[in-house]
Amino acid sequence: MPVTGVLPYEGAGEASSTQAGHRALLARLYEEELAAGPNEYLEQHSQPGWIDSHVRMFNWYLPYLHHASTVLDWGCQHGPDAVLLHAARPEVGVHGVDFCAPGEYPTFRAASAMRYRPLEASGDLPFEREQFDAVAPPGCWSTAPRTGGRSASCTA
């Protein structure tokens, strides 16, 4: 299923080699993760059109994180944003939350260096106030209206 409604990004002038590198990185991680076993969600998101849309969205919001040293990836699922953020700015500490089990998506988790914590059924964030400089919630932007705030891909 193709991704629709992706926001345009200001970084159109960014070096295409960086964007191509981000696409190649995600494609490789999807291939490695899927080699461990079938996963319908990952198979859908591993398609070139989805990866391209994801990289464009990431490049759109990355400039807004220029000041951040600690970022919360809220609704991270397998962590493609955390992977891209770690590739672009490895000095940033990324924390992720979603309803997925901690052992899911080991390839993406390792590549992102993200500190992942699963959310409880209540959806309350397990962090102190003002712990993060920024919140990067692309997963929540695309799924919250359909699922009452839960990440659509982790509702099992």
What angle is formed at CA 39 by the lines to CA 38 and CA 41, rounded to 5 degrees?
Answer: 155
Share of the chain above pLDDT 90, in %: 54
Q: Dump pLDDT digits (tens) for 51-79.
A: 999 899 898 889 989 899 999 998 899 99
- 116 secondary structure, DSSP code: E
pLDDT of 49 above 50: yes
- 135 secondary structure, DSSP code: E
| pTM of this structure | 0.79
Average of pLDDT values for 136-145? 53
Strands of 93-98's sheet, edge to edge?
115-118, 93-98, 70-74, 134-135
**Radius of gyration, CA atoms only, the chain:** 15
Give the C-alpha separation, 132 to 50, whole Å: 28
* Domain 15-154, second-level architecture: 3-Layer(aba) Sandwich (3.40)
Give 137 or 149, the one with higher predicted confidence.
137
pLDDT at 139: 59
